[in-house]
Structure 1
Amino acid sequence: MSTIDDHFWHSYQHTQFLLTQGFSPALSFAIITAHNPRGRVLSAPQNRLLDSQLQRHIIELKRPYRAIIGASYDRRHMEKSWAVPIEKPLAVALGRQFNQNAIYFVEGDQLQLVPCLLNYPELTMGAFSARVCLVSELPEIQS
């Protein structure tokens, strides 16, 4: 595995999630983004276009979904994502379709980091609720 892959995998393990409303701990769902495919930072307009494409795919699944922001703890890096109650294999396939290195999956309030394009083992990261930050509204993503 490359050093850059190691960097991404490590940074994904230090993510918090900005929400406007909490989730039931009994709910299982995937957290998927289309931003910055393969870890390459794109412009805000490019990311918005990819995000709207991902949202269209999610709508076609006919499942409820909710916007969520994945952010570094210092909030210097944020990515709009979608929380969707779908099965893990479908979530990974969607992540691969949008060239994502990994997705998150939450089951019984346990947060899992699940590789899509990277060659790492799935990683359980503890309680999802411990990484949630409730906000009155989701911030605009600038990049």
Structure 2
Amino acid sequence: MSESNSQWQCYQEAEFLFTQALSSELSFAIITAHNPKGQILSACQNRLLDRRLQFEIQQLHRPYRAMIGASADRCHMEKSWAVSIDKASAIRLGCQFNQNAIYFVEHDKLQLVPCLLSKTKQQEEVVIGPFSPRVRLVNELPDFD
């Protein structure tokens, strides 16, 4: 399995940490600025990118919420944002921050949507399944310092 296929599989196994439950009727995107193009950056570099992404999200004047995308074993976690925007806008934002993919949730259906990877035709959008079973409620989000 190539590195991009292995990464694509990992994306499909993600869980999502929230401090509050979301309605299953909401449609929203999950976007991160961490680790552009799948390259692991320092906490400081990721924090700077995250602040830039948050600024861009605020300019959209749409509801949003901080959250964490994580591997099931919590060995890998990325600060992310759940943003109430359409899929096309989410893809543009993902591309702007050099992300391989974003997630899109529509009526509790989780989709993995390629951004940069779609340009090379290596990956296609995947409907992963129900979103709510992948949500983990936490008292507070982990700190990335």
**What TM-score do the two structures reach when normalised by structure 1?**
0.96
Question: Following TM superposition, by how much is the alpha carbon of 1:7 offset from its aligned partner in structure 2, in angstroms?
Answer: 1.4
User: Residue 30 of structure 1 aligns to a residue in which SS?
Assistant: strand
Question: Following TM superposition, by how much is the alpha carbon of 1:141 offset from its aligned partner in structure 2, in angstroms?
Answer: 2.2
1:1-143 matched pairs, under 5 angstroms: 3-118=2-117, 119-142=122-145
Q: Aligned partners of 2:125, 2:34: CA distance in 1, in Å?
A: 21
Question: Following TM superposition, by how much is the alpha carbon of 1:80 offset from its aligned partner in structure 2, in angstroms?
Answer: 0.3
Name segments (4+ residues, structure 1) moved above 6 Å: none
Question: Following TM superposition, by how much is the alpha carbon of 1:122 offset from its aligned partner in structure 2, in angstroms?
Answer: 0.5
User: Residue 94 of structure 1 aligns to a residue in which SS?
Assistant: helix
Question: Following TM superposition, by how much is the alpha carbon of 1:19 offset from its aligned partner in structure 2, in angstroms?
Answer: 0.4
Structure 1: gaps (5+ residues): none
Q: Aligned partners of 1:50, 1:90: CA distance in 2, in Å?
A: 18
User: Residue 91 of structure 1 aligns to a residue in which SS?
Assistant: helix
User: Residue 62 of structure 1 aligns to a residue in which SS?
Assistant: coil
Cα displacement string for residues 91-121 of structure 1 (whole angstroms, at most 9, x for unaligned residues): 0000000000000000000000000011311
Q: Which amino acid counterpart does residue 127 of structure 1 have in structure 2?
A: P
Q: Aligned partners of 2:35, 2:2: CA distance in 1, in Å?
A: 18
Cα displacement string for residues 13-44 of structure 1 (whole angstroms, at most 9, x for unaligned residues): 11000000011000000000000000000000
Q: Aligned partners of 2:35, 2:104: CA distance in 1, in Å?
A: 19
Q: Percent identity?
A: 62
Q: Aligned partners of 2:125, 2:48: CA distance in 1, in Å?
A: 29
Q: Which amino acid counterpart does residue 34 of structure 2 have in structure 1?
A: H
Q: Which amino acid counterpart does residue 52 of structure 1 have in structure 2?
A: R
